[in-house]
Amino acid sequence: MRITAEAFSSAITAVVTNDALVKLGFAGRIKGRQTQSIRVDMRPVLVGGSRMVQSVRTIGGEHRTQMVPLEESAGFVVELLNEGYANITVTTTSELIEYRVAKGGDVFVNRTQRESDPDLAHDRSKKRMLDPADPLLVAVGISTESGEIKAKWRDKYRQVDDFLRIFSTTLTKAVKAGQVDTPSVQAPLQVVDLGCGHAYLTFGAQAWLERVCGWPSRIVGVDIKTASMARNQQLAERLGVTNMTFIASGIAEYKFDGEIDVVLALHACDTATDDALAWAMRHKAKVIMSVPCCQHNLQTQMDAENIPAPLGLITRHGILRERFADLLTDAARAAILRQHGYRVDVIEFVSGEHTPRNLMIRAVKTEAKVDESIDNDVELLRSEWKLSPALFRQLVEE
């Protein structure tokens, strides 16, 4: 169906503020016109309880994100229309509207009724935390431009998805319980990722907070590798992300002023995990999420003469000794966190076929009274087993 240019412009500017809008896309270009971006994708989001419109511009291989106040969104859309995009797609809760703008200015429209998304609660498929076509996943090479997960990156995508599922659940519950303040523009969620490496999970947290949850945040990634931090900062700039900073520093040496809501320590190796946990507790982090990796500290301290029977049956075999030491290390870390007023659980992170380590220590600061029996358990480990966990040495003996 053909409509006038005036009717087209009015419809587009009106829909951007409509509560029924799901997403709005601009792509292609009218013959003879030159647009600023390959495509522009817009969708409504909640930021600090206020409704805004998120715009993601695709320019070359870069994705630039901009948050547009609702009252300015109509003017923003008019500017996009004036650039000369040929294909505009409007998705609402009830229909899909496709506009095609011809060279002469004629506008053709096609409307298709949409069915509500199916409820997959009892389906074998589960909703992913980030759309495979998310600009982040495309930028880091996990997805193609068309939103298909690349075969060699499927394990990494599963890991990002699993982490975000735990991250979102933990954070949402902590906010609801009043253990973390509701993030706002004035007081954004403060996240520090210690030993962030290439920061796939760090960027995933930022994307979920911004594009899915709508919570303002400030995120700092810390790692000793200067080249990795420079790469991460460049990626943030390519994505148009302005609330992330990457610092080349050792964990113990990193200085931070102010309150911290969340500390992440995902795959920090050996006692670097203890450095991160100690740093988080000293800075009174409200939520700590740690995935230990490459643990040798307690294993090297184990002496067969000090291991009580019948556990010598385990420690006499190399591979069993190694696995037992891993479990004992994480159990000691969890106990020490509990000594410092955290509610702690140790959960599965991702299934074993996707990563060699599959445990996460999750801790949330509470006002609950500390169980005194924990002190006895930790002391027993030290006195009878002659073991001194690295985290204990950092916090108790300092």
Rg from Cα positions in the chain: 25
pLDDT given for residue 117 in this prediction: 44
Tokens representing 329? 């290390």
pTM of the model: 0.66
8 Å CB contact between 258 and 232: no
Q: What is the DSSP code (8-state) at residue 143?
A: B
Residues 175 and 281 in one domain: yes
> Quick check: is 128 in a domain?
no
Residues 102 and 146 in one domain: no
Neighbours of 288 (CB within 10 A): 24
Domain end call among 113, 143, 172: 113
pLDDT, tens only, 387-397: 666 666 666 65
Tokens representing 67? 């948050």
Cα separation, 207 vs 134, in Å, equals: 8
Number of domains in the chain: 2
Residues 104 and 161 in one domain: no
Residues 186 and 221 in one domain: yes
Residues 262 and 361 in one domain: yes
Cα separation, 371 vs 389, in Å, equals: 20
Q: Which of 273, 272, 203 is nearest to 231 (CA)?
A: 203
pLDDT given for residue 384 in this prediction: 66
> Quick check: is 120 in a domain?
no
Cα separation, 169 vs 21, in Å, equals: 26
Residues in contact with 5: Cβ distance below 8 Å, sequence separation at least 6, in sequence order: 105, 107
Q: With a cut of 70, which residues of the chain have pLDDT below it?
A: 48-49, 61, 114-126, 268, 270, 294-318, 321, 351-357, 380-398
Residues 49 and 95 in one domain: yes
Residues 29 and 171 in one domain: no
Residues 109 and 144 in one domain: no
pLDDT given for residue 228 in this prediction: 95
Tokens representing 97? 């509207």
8 Å CB contact between 90 and 77: no
Which residue range(s) make up the domain with 362? 135-395
pLDDT given for residue 59 in this prediction: 82
Cα separation, 272 vs 94, in Å, equals: 51
Residues 187 and 90 in one domain: no
Type of residue numbered 211? R
Residues 33 and 178 in one domain: no
Domain end call among 113, 143, 169: 113
Residues 268 and 337 in one domain: yes
pLDDT given for residue 21 in this prediction: 85
CATH number, residue 346 = 3.40.50.150
> Quick check: is 129 in a domain?
no
Q: Are strands 107-113 and 95-101 parallel, antiparallel or unpaired?
A: antiparallel
